[in-house]
């Protein structure tokens, strides 16, 4: 879809009332076209092939084929940006998190769609989001290879080979921070599933998500990858495993403990990748590492630059593999000059040496 073209949206929703209200919200300004409404996933798959929409909204609970299976089919047969809409949130409902992990580019609770006031700011913000998502790149990620088969060929911003940290080898790391947004869940799965359960380096993650889905993502990832995956707890000691920032709280590292903070921060995100990565740079210095993955906006850029300035390892995902090349580009613009493909990032993480304690330099 060109930038000047109205997005063409296909709705898959089994509630006629919700589908009608969603259509009213989308078409309110006249610059989004709803090209079809389907009540089943089977019908949607047929219509996607025929109509070729720019974006699909997918109900996760459907009669017959469920939304998760529909997303998997869409991504394998007709790769199309897909926004999952769910009535169910919480740690026990992992179907939405699974849909994100297999390729849906975003998820929202149905309660957060401004059905009653399409003319209000919430309705306008939803339509802006639809327009951005409809232009997103749908990326297929390969399954991980064995560590011995992966070859990391990191590149700097000019495309020249260079190992992270500039020394030709990876120096010891005591903590790794990752931040991601749109398109992040499948990348997180891709990077984590090749690591053994005994991987010793703690991994702290900020993943921008709609409220209510972070815990279910942690539960789903915990089942899908060898490493234990949990939401972070305030005051917990830094320990091996993967720790996700909870909904609405900044995650930071102070010394050797995790800190959750709901205080004000001059930025649009809570949790914030910049808050996390700046704290890692302060606490771990040269033994810190940061990775900025796909997503819209600039979050994580200044934090990754701080890690690099502290002598740590800072990596940005390459443009070709990003769903949206906003956050990694901002990191590159901020001075992060190690750019990697997903396979290269996975190989680099697997090859990191563990520094048992944080090192300040």
Query: DSSP per residue over 128-191, as a string?
Result: HHHHHHHTPPP-PPPPPPPGGG-----B-TTS-B--GGGSSSPPPBSEEEEEE-TTHHHHHHHH
Q: Does residue 157 sit in the same domain as residue 117? A: no
- The last residue of one of the domains, among 67, 100, 134, is 134
**Do 116 and 168 sit in the same domain of this protein?**
no
What value does the mean pLDDT take over residues 272-298?
96
Q: Has residue 248 been placed in a domain?
A: yes
The whole-number pLDDT of residue 140 equals: 63
Percent of the chain residues past pLDDT 70, beyond the cut: 86
Q: Is residue 298 part of a domain?
A: yes
Confidence of residue 219 (pLDDT cuts 50, 70, 90): very high
Q: Which of 105, 134, 163 is the last residue of a domain?
A: 134
The C-alpha atoms of residue 19 and residue 14 are separated, in whole angstroms, by: 8
52 and 152 fall within a common domain: no
pLDDT of residue 12: 98
If asked whether residues 199 and 275 sit together in one domain, one would say yes
Q: Mean of the pLDDT values across residues 200-229?
A: 93
What CATH number corresponds to the domain at position 48? Answer: 3.40.50.2300
pLDDT, residue 266, reads 65
pLDDT at 243 over 50: yes
Q: Are residues 220 and 267 in the same domain?
A: yes
Cα angle value 240/245/250 (rounded, 5°): 125
Q: Is position 208 within any domain?
A: yes
User: Which of 88, 105, 134 lies at the terminal end of a domain, its last residue?
Assistant: 134
**Is the predicted pLDDT of residue 238 greater than 80, yes or no?**
yes
**Exposed/middle/buried for residue 43 (C-beta within 10 Å: 0-12, 13-18, 19+):** middle
Which helix (H) or strand (E) segment holds residue 292: the answer is strand 288-292
Contact between residue 90 and residue 111 where contact means Cβ atoms under 8 Å apart: no
Percent of the residues in the chain that have a pLDDT greater than 90, as a whole number: 75
pLDDT exceeds 80 at position 231: yes
> Does 151 or 19 have the greater pLDDT score?
19
What's the pLDDT at 106?
A: 92
Question: How many Cβ atoms are within 10 Å of 160's Cβ, its own excluded?
Answer: 9
Q: Is 224 helix (H, G, I), strand (E, B) or coil?
A: helix
User: How confident is residue 348, by pLDDT bands cut at 50, 70 and 90?
Assistant: very high
Q: Determine the average pLDDT of the residues in 306-329.
A: 96
| Number of domains comprising the chain | 2
Q: Looking at residue 49, what is its pLDDT?
A: 94
Q: Is there a single domain that holds both residue 22 and residue 122?
A: yes
Q: For residue 154, name the pLDDT band (cuts at 50, 70, 90).
A: very low
The answer to whether residues 109 and 215 belong to one domain is no
The two three-digit tokens of residue 353, written as one number: 């040496």
| C-alpha span between 12 and 42 (Å, rounded) | 10
Same domain, 174 and 312: yes
**209 φ, ψ (degrees, to nearest 5):** -145, 160
Given this model, what pLDDT does residue 90 score? 55
Residue 181 lies in a domain: yes
Dihedral over Cα of 273, 247, 239, 93: its sign: negative
Residue at 183 is within a domain = yes
In angstroms, the CA 322 to CA 309 distance is 25
Q: What is the pLDDT of residues 265-283, one digit of tens each?
A: 766 788 999 999 999 999 9
Q: Which two tokens stand for residue 114?
A: 């401004």
In a domain, 3, yes or no: no
User: Using one digit for the tens of pLDDT, what is the confidence trace for 25-75?
Assistant: 999 999 999 999 999 999 999 999 999 999 999 999 999 999 999 999 999
- pLDDT confidence of residue 358: 52
**pLDDT tens string 81-103:** 999 998 866 555 688 888 998 88
For the chain, the distance separating the N- and C-terminal CA atoms, rounded to the nearest angstrom, is 49
What pLDDT, on the 0 to 100 scale, is given for residue 161?
37
- Per-residue pLDDT for 158 more than 90? no
Quote the distance between the C-alpha of residue 244 and its chain's center.
Answer: 12
| 213 and 262 belong to one structural domain | yes
Beta strands in 21-145 (DSSP E): 33-38, 55-59, 82-86, 106-109
Q: Does some domain include residue 142?
A: no
Are 86 and 217 in a shared domain? no
Looking at the structure, do residues 86 and 180 belong to the same domain, yes or no? no
Query: Confidence class of residue 168 from pLDDT cuts 50, 70 and 90?
Result: very low
- Give residue 279's domain range: 147-350
Catalytic residues: 181, 208, 299
In a domain, 2, yes or no: no
232 and 340 both lie in a single domain: yes
| CATH assignment of the domain containing 301 | 3.40.50.180
Q: What is the mean pLDDT of the chain?
A: 88
């Amino acid at each position: 879809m060109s930038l000047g073209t109205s997005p063409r949206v296909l709705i898959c929703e089994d509630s006629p009332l919700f589908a009608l209200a969603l259509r009213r919200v989308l078409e309110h300004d006249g610059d989004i076209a709803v090209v079809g409404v389907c009540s089943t996933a089977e019908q949607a798959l047929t219509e996607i092939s025929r109509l070729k929409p720019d974006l699909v909204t997918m109900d996760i609970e459907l009669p017959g084929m469920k939304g998760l299976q529909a997303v998997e089919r869409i991504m394998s047969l007709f790769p199309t940006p897909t926004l999952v809409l769910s009535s169910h949130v919480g740690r026990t409902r992992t179907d939405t998190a699974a849909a994100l992990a297999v390729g849906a580019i975003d998820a929202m609770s149905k309660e957060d769609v401004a059905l009653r006031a399409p003319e209000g700011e919430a309705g306008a913000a939803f339509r802006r989001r639809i327009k951005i998502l409809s232009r997103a790149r749908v990326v297929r990620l390969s399954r991980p290879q064995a560590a011995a088969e992966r070859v990391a060929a990191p590149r700097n911003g000019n495309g020249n080979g260079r190992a992270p940290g500039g020394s030709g080898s990876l120096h010891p790391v005591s903590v790794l921070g990752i931040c991601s947004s749109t398109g992040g869940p499948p990348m997180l799965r891709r990077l984590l599933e090749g690591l053994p359960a005994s991987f010793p380096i703690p991994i702290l993650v900020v993943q921008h998500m709609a409220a209510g889905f972070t815990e279910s993502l942690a539960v789903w990832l915990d089942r899908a990858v060898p490493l234990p995956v949990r939401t972070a707890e305030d005051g917990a000691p830094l320990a091996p495993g993967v720790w996700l920032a909870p909904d609405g709280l900044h995650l930071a590292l102070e010394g050797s403990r995790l800190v959750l903070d709901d205080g004000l921060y001059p930025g649009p995100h809570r949790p914030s990748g910049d808050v996390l990565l700046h704290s890692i740079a302060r606490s771990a210095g040269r033994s810190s590492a940061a990775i900025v993955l796909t997503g819209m906006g600039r979050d994580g850029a200044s934090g990754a630059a701080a890690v690099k300035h502290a002598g740590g390892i800072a990596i940005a995902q390459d443009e070709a593999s990003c769903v949206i090349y906003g956050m990694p580009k901002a990191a590159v613009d901020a001075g992060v000059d190690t750019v990697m493909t997903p396979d290269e990032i996975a190989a680099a993480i697997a090859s990191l040496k563990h520094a048992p304690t944080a090192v300040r330099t």
